[in-house]
Structure 1
């Protein structure tokens, strides 16, 4: 029996449920509707689309942006959608046939990312102008700027409790911002390549980053330390997403593959090959039952997750972070707020961290605030009146299709299952995703290319540790000189 025959298929393998094509250029991001079986996709073709993956319904295409759309996000209620564009605007849409939208003239450069706060009342945006901004959605009002990055900001995301924002930039830093004070409370320095995407773990305790050098990193926010590092891809990693249960991660790369990482076991368990070119967008559904992928090949794939079923059936469910380990802003940063000088030198030593507008309104004190499921009615009203301050009310174009379901044989799908594979006697499985320590344990005879690959990974890890120690030594020396 050869090794391929032992790569067993199981009911826990992810499978492709639907294939779609509708965009004319690369898909840049994907957002699931919070309640209904719908996904919204943004694209370089200046549009975003909404399609159903449970029913054979024609998709809606929404046109108003004048340039590429880089991000799309559903509000928590699902009533409205936000989009970010290269035309320097952010639009809030009611995704119906009337296609009402309001635009925020948000930044001086390309807007790379947009996201609603967990309660739907605020928006965070980030741009090539190096600034992260916070907005009040219903009032279309600018709240504050978070300044500290020195190069393009690729991504900004709210924490699960809505009290923090994490951002990553081409300046090779990841910054953690506190909304209440507007301060940069932690800076994580990437030593080699910048992070292209960053996401909060569902517990709020950790973050995951996608790096231009092909690696995925998971940091503990309480200490800023690197907890896990995966050199899983041969090209830039464009996106990372945590499964809603927090124990798995999905990654998307320019090498045209996706990886599924088991964060508790600390190893990749699947390689998914279904796109012809780089994979540029991924997302999990709110329950984690499905995930979606989009690429430069303009295809949208809806997958059935499955790999989380085995965990759900276990008598003692696994958990990466227990409920007692929830991130507590007050306890974690209380020492930073005791001394202003220490706070600045600890969190923002390598760059300016400041806030332009300090009177950020909190949800608890703003009694006349409305939830985002009321925004659709206000948006329709404002569309008829016109907007006089932050942007313009616009009745964009909405059209149905053309989006078609692709026959399975046009888009070949290859799923490599590492969870249920084992090597033949005296041999090792030739698979890039097998954990390094298992490779060394399972075989002592390697051909020289295999050994070279292993040594290369070891050298990179040693170099990373060496650079980390050098930075730590410099900081200690600096502190000693100040004393």
Structure 2
């Protein structure tokens, strides 16, 4: 195989910046990817190919946060219209809408899909019981500025948040109390809990930092060549990817911090990157309104990548907006 180079799959359809991405776990029909965009129309795609499945329509403002439950049967969105919505991801129908008093920046499902947590510019975290949607949510207070990200972890017994008050906080779900806090010299742009739950990845300034999730002790910290907006750790904790202001997507060795490679495919800053659940690819979303899928190990036949003994320049698959639906997943078009 000669002259292999990284050729991403380019997924179009959004008309404004893509600001957040989330993968489901692997299901019987593969795995799925949902994207949040400032055009207010989150999109669901087949995760390994980028094939468009459907668009959830109903928000009246930019969508900042998205999540899929583990089985990809439910989707959640948080938006600038002060609402968090839960959707049936098979039928495309809105199931619940939870009114907030400010922009909802982040959403996440519990492992059993019974609870939804939200984070907003109200400086509050809420947990809603989806079996009792009319009930008052559990509320967590303590942040002094808008919250960017929230996620369940440690078998849903804890929550992690990061916010514009330059802190990352860990909360005990049962009591609603803050139990740990990290302070940063600048606003942490992103936060991710690793697949094994042991590592929290954050970005701020031009630094990617990895923290022990139990103690919040620093495991590693690496300087990257740009203001970095997002980073993601491979499921086997061997490498990480990141992206930011300079339009590039970088890949680094997690143990040494050595840069393995970098690619410039986007035409705007990279706002979000995430590894797929099987680690075979990673997705990036950009100011340019596209999301791109990159192969972790270039040269493997996987998804739409089909490699034979020829220069990679001859195979440059691009996913059109009206790509065919695969794996018999029902099309989603929410009204």
The alignment's TM-score, normalised by the length of structure 2, stands at: 0.81
Work out whether 1:75 is the aligned partner of 2:69: yes
Contact 1:21 / 1:404 at 8 angstroms: preserved in 2?
A: no
Whether the 8 Å CA contact 1:29–1:43 is kept in 2: the answer is yes
Question: Do the aligned residues in 1 keep the contact of 2:282 with 2:295 (CA within 8 Å)?
Answer: yes
Task: Please list, as runs of the form range in 1=range in 2, the aligned pairs for 1:134-213 lying within 5 A after superposition.
Answer: 134-140=127-133, 141-190=135-184, 192-211=185-204, 213=205
1:115, 1:125 within 8 Å by CA — same for their partners in 2?
yes
Distance in 2 (CA, whole Å) between partners of 1:293 and 1:57 is: 15
Contact 2:196 2:235 in 1 (8 A): no
2:279 & 2:33 partners in 1: Cα distance?
Answer: 14
Matches within 5 A, 1:15-414: 15-34=6-25, 35=27, 36-52=30-46, 59-96=53-90, 99-140=92-133, 141-190=135-184, 192-211=185-204, 213-235=205-227, 237-306=228-297, 403=321
Q: Deviations over 1:194-242 (max 9, x none)?
A: 101111233333311111x22111123444332322220422x222222
Deviation at 1:17? Answer: 4.7
Question: CA separation in 1, counterparts of 2:50 and 2:217?
Answer: 47
Q: Which runs of 5+ in 1 are unaligned?
A: 1-8, 310-400, 406-483
- Distance (whole Å) between structure 2 residues aligned to residue 81 and residue 126 of structure 1: 16
Following the alignment from structure 2 to structure 1, what is the Cα–Cα distance between the partners of residues 3 and 218? 33
User: Is the CA contact 1:21–1:403 (under 8 Å) kept in the aligned structure 2?
Assistant: yes
Structure 1 pair 266/281, CA: closer, same or farther in 2 (3 Å)? closer
Shift of 1:289: 1.3
Uncovered stretches (5+) of structure 2, i.e. residues with no partner:
301-318, 324-335
Distance 1:267 1:107, change over 3 A: farther
The CA distance in 2 between the partners of 1:54 and 1:229, in whole Å, is 30
Q: Distance in 1 between matches of 2:49 and 2:249?
A: 26
Alpha-carbon distance change, 261 to 61 in structure 1, aligned in 2, over 3 angstroms: same
CA 224–160 in structure 1, closer or farther in 2 if over 3 Å, else same: closer
| 1:292-349 deviation digits (Å, cap 9, x = unpaired) | 1111111121222117x9xxxxxxxxxxxxxxxxxxxxxxxxxxxxxxxxxxxxxxxx
How far apart are the structure 1 equivalents of 2:287 and 2:167? Answer: 27
1:106, CA displacement in angstroms?
Answer: 4.2
Cα distance, 1:255 vs. partner?
2.0
What is the CA–CA distance in structure 1 between the aligned matches of 2:237 and 2:46, rounded to whole Å?
Answer: 26
Distance 2:68 2:50 in 1: 21
Greater per-residue helix proportion = 1
Partner Cα separation in structure 1 for residue 320 and residue 226 of structure 2:
34
Distance (whole Å) between structure 2 residues aligned to residue 29 and residue 82 of structure 1 = 12
Residue 71 of structure 1: how far off its partner (Å): 1.4
**Contact 2:170 2:181 (C-alpha < 8 Å) held by counterparts:** yes
Label 1:267 to 1:47 Cα distance change in 2 as closer, same or farther (>3 A). same
Check the 8 A contact 1:160/1:202 in 2, yes or no: no
Q: CA deviation at 1:245?
A: 1.4
Map 1:431-470 to 2 at 5 A: none
SS of the equivalent of 1:16 reads coil
The 1:222–1:82 alpha-carbon spacing in structure 2 relative to 1, beyond 3 Å, is: closer
Q: Is contact 2:43-2:52 (8 Å) kept?
A: no
C-alpha RMSD of matched pairs (Å) = 2.6
Whether contact under 8 Å (1:208, 1:218) holds in the other structure is: yes
**Higher strand content, 1 or 2:** 2
Secondary structure at the residue paired with 2:206? Answer: coil
Partners of 1:227 and 1:57 in 2: how far apart?
37
| In structure 1, C-alpha distance between the alignment counterparts of 2:52 and 2:97, rounded to whole Å | 29
